Structure 1
């Protein structure tokens, strides 16, 4: 990946990679126990030449620092607050967001409280209603799902979690990232989701006035795909969520060519809509100034 930089937020030091340039910006947000490295196949593609790609390591992950106050930072609202502070420092007034797994849930919460996000694509992150019942409707209950909330990981746990997310590749990818992650992220974030912290995600998505797209794997071990089909969300790519065959929890990694094409199409839609909205805003401001 490209050279990276660090900024300091009220939730700690955050490491990020930014291609720069004049393309419409898109922030890529990783899942629990991983880092911005999972998006290597997006940075090493035509996407990086057409758009401004930005990816960060959330606090407690990758090259970012662990949180000084994990009980508040490692929650859905804490991570969303960190993203808002990050966007403010980078002066990102308008951007698209791709959120994967935990990153998707945090992105929904961020969108509920910010006007910066002009389009949201999600993978492995069904927008849930508050509480345990909402989670059970959106996720397959299983012992494997409990790994997402386990604080201390053995090397065997890390290999299993990697296989669940990226398939049974040998050697298991990104186990070093899993073992590096502050284990309090998993336990604290899991509690935050069960409590129903933040906005009602389903209502947020169904009431959104910006484009929202779902791109999921047909073999995702965690997500109930039928739940996504029941959402009342106009899809940019058709009548329902896009489901990629032969893909599990991480379509951007397993089938990068197909995923990158979809993300490129989505960004075309978002950039066109954002440009129109921005031009309308400029016209309104100019009219008021002349009045």
Structure 2
């Protein structure tokens, strides 16, 4: 090969790589918008990944935001999917009403998810709910059924707000509800630390603390009394459901929670990460992303 031909080949390859890179970047452009819940609360929604890919919707937990899912939304493996996140009411960039009933009535959280699904026009998404996100999922299923959903993943999900399923940390929860700033902030730090068996690096931990600082105090105080319609949802659910829990969860009782969910619906699948705490999607992100991808693809294969 002559030098001239070699230079031409290098230029052609360079153009090809640039075109592929631009195409990938175009697919990965984040889309941000808001929707209105029936009671007037503004819900902040974000999208990434492949806009033409099979959709996955992520619901974060108490004191979090869409940023909880960065190990998923930035994962090269998951970029093939349409990745949709949103900030729960009282969290992140979503509206933060001051009325207690805006948070106590579980149907309102269900309505938020319903308007996100409608506005995004996501076809048969897999919906992933972490911790408090599990309550949102259960309330959605009770109110709307599973006709618009392809599959469900409870990630260390709160099946019921039942003392038998929630690890006892009375001082922490009293601190979260405290009007004293120092007491509240100290409790927030302890609560975030309890989410992990293996603590994240300082930058991630600080971001999680910032997430928590943005959350509504009214919401934080009210959530423990939220209505949960799990008995009206899981027994009627026909789509595939995966219960994915950390074996060393310090906030939710893993064994009793899975047992309760499977008591309500024996067809539910379960998977335990023995070395993870309450946040396996962060503690063991590569494994979680692979399991999520496999679950998403298995549902497609059934259709």
TM-score interval for Structure 1 and Structure 2 normalised by the shorter chain: 0.7 to 0.9
Structure 2 Cα separation of the partners of residues 28 and 65 of structure 1: 18
Q: Would the alpha carbon gap of residues 74 and 54 (structure 1) be closer, same or farther in structure 2, given more than 3 Å must change?
A: farther
RMSD: 2.4
Pairing partner for 1:54 from 76, 84, 87? 84
Tell me what 1:82 maps to.
Answer: 112
Conservation of the 8 A alpha-carbon contact between 2:62 and 2:131: yes
- Residues 58-94 of structure 1 show CA distances to partners (whole Å, capped at 9, x for unaligned) of 1211122212645225542111111111211222342
- Residues 190-229 of structure 1 show CA distances to partners (whole Å, capped at 9, x for unaligned) of 112xxxx252x14522432111111111110122222144
Conservation of the 8 A alpha-carbon contact between 1:108 and 1:205: yes
Where does the alignment leave 5 or more consecutive residues of structure 1 unmatched?
Answer: 277-291
Which structure is larger by alpha-carbon Rg, 1 or 2?
A: 2
TM-score by length of 2: 0.77
Structure 2 Cα separation of the partners of residues 126 and 32 of structure 1: 11
Offset at 1:2? Answer: 5.4
How do residues 270-289 of structure 1 correspond to structure 2 at under 5 angstroms? 270-273=299-302, 276=303
Structure 2 Cα separation of the partners of residues 162 and 38 of structure 1: 12
Structure 1 Cα separation of the partners of residues 187 and 176 of structure 2: 12
How do residues 45-194 of structure 1 correspond to structure 2 at under 5 angstroms? 45-67=75-97, 69-73=99-103, 75-114=105-144, 115-128=147-160, 135-143=162-170, 146=173, 150=177, 152=179, 154-167=184-197, 168-169=199-200, 171=202, 172-173=205-206, 174-192=208-226
Structure 2 Cα separation of the partners of residues 148 and 101 of structure 1: 19
How do residues 160-239 of structure 1 correspond to structure 2 at under 5 angstroms? 160-167=190-197, 168-169=199-200, 171=202, 172-173=205-206, 174-192=208-226, 197-199=227-229, 201-202=230-231, 204-230=233-259, 231-232=262-263, 233-236=266-269
Pairing partner for 1:242 from 264, 267, 271? 271
Paired residue total:
260
Structure 1 Cα separation of the partners of residues 280 and 142 of structure 2: 25
Conservation of the 8 A alpha-carbon contact between 1:151 and 1:184: no
Higher mean Cα deviation, 91-100 or 138-147? 138-147
- Residues 126-157 of structure 1 show CA distances to partners (whole Å, capped at 9, x for unaligned) of 423xxx7xx12222223266269626563322
TM-score by length of 1: 0.80
Verify: 1:43 aligned to 2:73, yes or no.
yes
- In the TM superposition, structure 1's runs of 4+ consecutive aligned residues that sit over 4 Å from their partners are none
Structure 2 Cα separation of the partners of residues 234 and 188 of structure 1: 32
